[in-house]
Amino acid sequence: MKLEISVPELVSIFKEIKEQPGQLYDMIRTDIRETIGKYLSGLMDAELTHFLGRKRYERRQGGVNHRNGSYDRKFTLKGIGEVDLHVPRDRRGDFKTHVIPCGKRYEDTIRQDLCLTPIFALLLTVIAI
């Protein structure tokens, strides 16, 4: 993929970045979230391929279980934020992904941080008294 951009367009982009530097970081964060979502979705798709024992659109004799689309879900990662995922499924419903734990909506380290926050708040209150 080749990206072509003219000099006036580049100057315009740099002026916008200079005026609003925070907007650049927001665009980078959004791009990172989308890229990680695609990566994790692809990883789960590869996991389903391994589970079924054949690639997409490949048929085998006696193969009863097939791909059956995907469903969307969100998962929150520390330092990245909420990521949109496409979790693949099989026709029988036997496939369970190990990439993202079933039923969890956020990473374990976030839970640990949330559990420690009230403790620190209590300590700060006690120290202030």
Which one-letter DSSP state was computed for residue 106? B
Q: What is the pTM of this model?
A: 0.71
pLDDT tens-digit series, residues 49-89: 999 988 888 887 776 888 999 999 999 988 888 999 999 99
Cβ atoms of 24 and 14 within 8 Å: the answer is no
CA 84, CA 36: separation in Å to the nearest integer?
9
Question: Is 52:65 a contact under the CB 8 Å cutoff?
Answer: yes
The percentage of the chain sitting over the pLDDT mark of 70, rounded to a whole number, equals: 88
| pLDDT average, residue stretch 14-42 | 88
Burial of 49 (0-12, 13-18, 19+ CB in 10 A): middle
* % pLDDT > 90, the chain: 37
